[in-house]
Amino acid sequence: MAASPEVRGWLFDVLLSGGEILLWILTDTGERRALVAPFRPRFYIGAPAPTISRLQEKIARMSLPCTLTTTERRTLWESAPRWVIEVSASRPGTFSSVFTRISRSCPEAEFFNVDIDLPRLFLYETGLFPLALCRVRAGEDQRIGEIRAEDSPADPQWTLPPIRVMELRLEEAPSSPALLPKTLHVTVDGESRSLSGDDPFDLVATIDSLLRREDPDLLLTDHGDDILLPRLARLISRTGHTLPLHRPNPMGIGRLSGGRDRSFVSYGRTHFSAGAWTLSGRWHIDRSNSFAYAEAGLEGLLEQARMTRIPVQQLARSSTGTGITSMQIDRAINEGILIPWRKSEPEEFRNALDLLEGDKGGLVFIPRPGLYESVCELDFASMYPAIMKTFNISPETVDCPCCPDNPVAGTNHTLCRRREGLIPRVLAPLLEKRARYKELRDHAPTPEERRSYDQRQGALKWLLVVSFGYLGYKNARFGKVAAHECVTALGREVLLQAKEIAEEEGYSLLHGIVDSLWLSREEMTEDECRRLAENISTRTGIPINLEGLYRWLRFFPSKSRPGVAVSTVYAGAFRSGKIKVRGLACRRSDTPPFIRRVQEDLLALLSRAQNREEYRRLIPEASLLLEESLRALRDSEIALPDLVVTKRLSRDPQDYRKASLTAIVAQERLARGIPTEAGQKIRYIITGLSDPDPSSRARAFETFSPDHSCDRAAYADLLRQACAPLLEPPP
């Protein structure tokens, strides 16, 4: 069959459809093409050398749709390759059944590369990646004969393809899953229209017309996964109408369906993730269900997709840890390193003293409470990832048998000098690319370019942040607690060394925490601080940057120990006029918007102070601002949405034992039929904090009506508590 002419375009999406790998290409001529990519996914089987041949013969007699060969591969922990059986499935659709049959028949064997998502495995093995600029040849049957990428994930100046975006936003979430949305706002190219949900037939017909006319590449929603698309699916079922949410493709059009909701615990916090409603031929990104989008915007999300080789819709709903793990697997596969099916590297038994000595965490210098003038802040750039790269820290390089003479200070561990570890090889391009993005951002000629580069570097920052946590995570593919301990030990040494260098140059340490230092010296200049940062970077081998110079910086006392400051609670005004705040109410996600705004207004007023004396003189004016806010609260001038408290559920509603406000509202929602699970965020209004009836103390915002009233005295107390630390005259 004759091949079609070569086309050029961006790899928009990769998915498994009808047992085949389906690629969506946005061509540079404006076409949206669906093409089938031939792919024979492979996995590997290991066994003792004398039994490999017999095992291969046994599998061959099973007459499975696959081919068998022997090849040499090694695991991360092995220094030399060994013989394994390579099993190549006839097509992606047979991969799972082939593996299942073999694993059941050969329980004594080891299996590798078997639990990797097939679209990702396709990208790893072909070198392609989301939004790669490609040249493609395909036959009339829409099967690809040749595809190659013209750019690289490492390229910092990649261009965003022309993507048509349609935004769908609910004016208000329905209080019951059975109810239709009251109003749906649809925005295309900056023009918005509002659709009424009163008539389901009319609503579906209008959405159908808009989708066909605009043909968007991206549906950008708020609560699309948990509210909007599930309700549209119900409407389709009720009305018998269809919606062109999927684009047609050679494998047929699938029905609209979503994944399962799930609750999970990460870093001690319970999270909730709504089931993913993904589309074929279009992206659906739910802004309320995407950490990457929330933290780094669309360009940051796409930057992560390019670097991690995870398709965009999947990445939008994945943790950043999934992204860094994908990069590690990609590197391992391309270097012939086997990925075990079930990780079996248990932590060695250690006594309590060893654990106490080895796992001390980051170094913290506790500040004294007070307001300080002439302060500079220095921050190590991606300190832990930089340490992992510089000192060659990776699971296989810690306590290697070849380098017992290279100890890590503060631990009982050693590091390898002879071979570079997998983790440093993965982190090096991330560190280099982020540094390049920051340089491009700082010299960008337009605000749009600055925003673009900032989103991209921010996305890479999160991949670097989690790379350290996953190094010690028990379920991580390439985790090892000893490696984690080496990083924190070297981090303590580097921070201590930086402190000593600063003191040599006449600076006084006010505060230090893990990767940041706050230093004071009379009449310091920005140039002097930058020279200090360069000196520390040179002598420690880890880059450190000047965050800024403060006119004043205030550390607040602990409530239980007034003579000691809380190391993570402070506020300060930079000489540039920018305000930096950590740990105060305005930084907390559960603070009502009204209280957040008042505290921010107080900080803006106090930031005008050039020194301690001016700060004290501004306190009366700040107190008047607080009193005016309290008056507005008493006189019911504050809109109800500005009093909403937002809390994340740490457990399912029925598992709460105490009648906290969060528990009361969670159980109210459940009783009213509103889906409520651990990890979800709920919103409520305080209605009677001291009411003897627990059910009257707070009410879910979705069910609040004019018949209810809020407890303004309780909100006034919260406001005073938030503002009190700022209004206390500094000594």
Does the pLDDT of residue 135 top 90, yes or no? yes
On whether the CB atoms of residues 484 and 468 are closer than 8 A, the answer is yes
28/51 same-domain check? no
Of 357 and 29, the one with more pLDDT: 29
Does the pLDDT of residue 156 top 70, yes or no? yes
CA dihedral 463, 464, 466, 471 (to 10 degrees): 120
List the one residue out of 58, 56, 254, 28 whose CA is nearest residue 159.
28
Q: Which residue has the tokens 């059975």?
A: 178
For residue 457, give the 3-state DSSP assignment: helix
List the one residue out of 494, 517, 472 whose CA is nearest residue 359.
472
On whether the CB atoms of residues 689 and 697 are closer than 8 A, the answer is yes
Burial class of residue 270 in the structure, from the number of CB atoms within 10 Å of its CB (0-12 exposed, 13-18 middle, 19+ buried)? middle
For residue 34, give the 3-state DSSP assignment: strand
480-493 confidence digits (pLDDT tens): 889 999 999 999 99
Q: How far apart are CA 390 and CA 384, in angstroms?
A: 10
List strands edge to edge, sheet with 66-75. 110-112, 42-46, 82-89, 66-75, 337-338
On whether the CB atoms of residues 485 and 393 are closer than 8 A, the answer is no
Which band of pLDDT confidence, cut at 50, 70 and 90, is reported for residue 202? confident
On whether the CB atoms of residues 273 and 261 are closer than 8 A, the answer is yes
Q: Is residue 444 part of a domain?
A: no
Does the pLDDT of residue 1 top 50, yes or no? no
139/187 same-domain check? no
Q: How far apart are CA 450 and CA 441, in angstroms?
A: 5
Helices and strands, counts by H and E, the chain: 18, 27
For the chain, the distance separating the N- and C-terminal CA atoms, rounded to the nearest angstrom, is: 85
Distances from the Cα of 339 to the Cα of 44, 214, 593, 618, angstroms: 9, 44, 48, 62
Taking all residues of the chain, what is their mean pLDDT, rounded to a whole number? 92
CATH code, 224: 3.30.420
Q: Which two tokens stand for residue 179?
A: 């109810």
On whether the CB atoms of residues 523 and 549 are closer than 8 A, the answer is no
Mean predicted confidence (pLDDT) in 546-565: 93
406/534 same-domain check? yes
On whether the CB atoms of residues 239 and 200 are closer than 8 A, the answer is yes
Mean predicted confidence (pLDDT) in 114-133: 97
22/88 same-domain check? no
Which band of pLDDT confidence, cut at 50, 70 and 90, is reported for residue 270? low
555/692 same-domain check? no
Mean predicted confidence (pLDDT) in 336-345: 83
The predicted pLDDT at position 352 comes to: 66
Q: How far apart are CA 231 and CA 241, in angstroms?
A: 13
Does the pLDDT of residue 693 top 90, yes or no? yes
Mean predicted confidence (pLDDT) in 107-115: 95
Residues of the chain above pLDDT 70, percent: 93
CATH code, 95: 3.30.70
- What does DSSP assign to residue 165? E
Q: What angle do CA 357, 358, 361 make, to 5 degrees?
A: 100
CATH code, 555: 3.90.1600.10
Q: Is residue 97 part of a domain?
A: yes
Q: Is residue 619 part of a domain?
A: yes
For residue 86, give the 3-state DSSP assignment: strand
- Pairing relation of β-strands 337-338 and 66-75? parallel
671-691 confidence digits (pLDDT tens): 988 889 998 999 999 999 999
Helix (H) or strand (E) holding 269: strand 269-273
Q: How far apart are CA 720 and CA 585, in angstroms?
A: 11
14/57 same-domain check? no
264/394 same-domain check? no
On whether the CB atoms of residues 31 and 299 are closer than 8 A, the answer is no
Count of structural domains within the chain: 5
Q: Is residue 299 part of a domain?
A: yes
177/227 same-domain check? yes
Q: Which two tokens stand for residue 519?
A: 């230093």
12/50 same-domain check? no
Q: Is residue 460 part of a domain?
A: no
| Cβ neighbours, 10 Å, residue 693 | 9
Q: Is residue 178 part of a domain?
A: yes
394-453 confidence digits (pLDDT tens): 999 999 999 999 999 989 999 999 999 999 999 999 999 999 999 999 999 999 999 999
User: Which of 375-394 are b and which e, b meaning 16 or more Cβ less than 10 Å from the residue's Cβ?
Assistant: bbbbbbbbbbbbbbbbbbbb
On whether the CB atoms of residues 722 and 595 are closer than 8 A, the answer is yes
513/392 same-domain check? yes
On whether the CB atoms of residues 495 and 340 are closer than 8 A, the answer is no
CATH code, 641: 1.10.132.60
Which band of pLDDT confidence, cut at 50, 70 and 90, is reported for residue 82? very high
Q: Is residue 439 part of a domain?
A: no
List the one residue out of 212, 192, 561, 510 whose CA is nearest residue 376.
510
CA dihedral 207, 208, 214, 219 (to 10 degrees): 60
Does the pLDDT of residue 25 top 70, yes or no? yes
447-480 confidence digits (pLDDT tens): 999 999 999 999 999 999 999 988 877 677 888 8
Which amino acid, residue 217? D
On whether the CB atoms of residues 295 and 268 are closer than 8 A, the answer is no
Mean predicted confidence (pLDDT) in 357-366: 84
Range of the domain at 171: 165-338
Handedness of CA 639, 641, 646, 651 (dihedral sign): positive
- What does DSSP assign to residue 201? H
Phi and psi torsions of 235, nearest 5°: -65, -40
The predicted pLDDT at position 345 comes to: 59
Q: Name residue 187's beta-bridge partners.
A: 167, 192
Handedness of CA 91, 97, 101, 102 (dihedral sign): positive
Q: Which of 583, 600, 631 is at the close of a domain?
A: 583
175/248 same-domain check? yes
Q: How far apart are CA 358 and CA 485, in angstroms?
A: 6
- How far from chain centre, in Å, is Cα 255? 29
The predicted pLDDT at position 356 comes to: 63
Which amino acid, residue 381? A
Q: Which two tokens stand for residue 599?
A: 């505290």
Mean predicted confidence (pLDDT) in 560-564: 88
Which band of pLDDT confidence, cut at 50, 70 and 90, is reported for residue 232? confident
Q: Which residue has the tokens 């008493």?
A: 634
Q: Is residue 721 part of a domain?
A: yes
492-513 confidence digits (pLDDT tens): 999 999 999 999 999 999 999 9
Q: Which of 533, 553, 583 is at the close of a domain?
A: 583
Residues 6+ apart with CB under 8 A from 357: 411, 412
159-193 confidence digits (pLDDT tens): 999 999 999 998 766 555 455 567 889 999 989 99
Does the pLDDT of residue 625 top 80, yes or no? yes
98/144 same-domain check? no
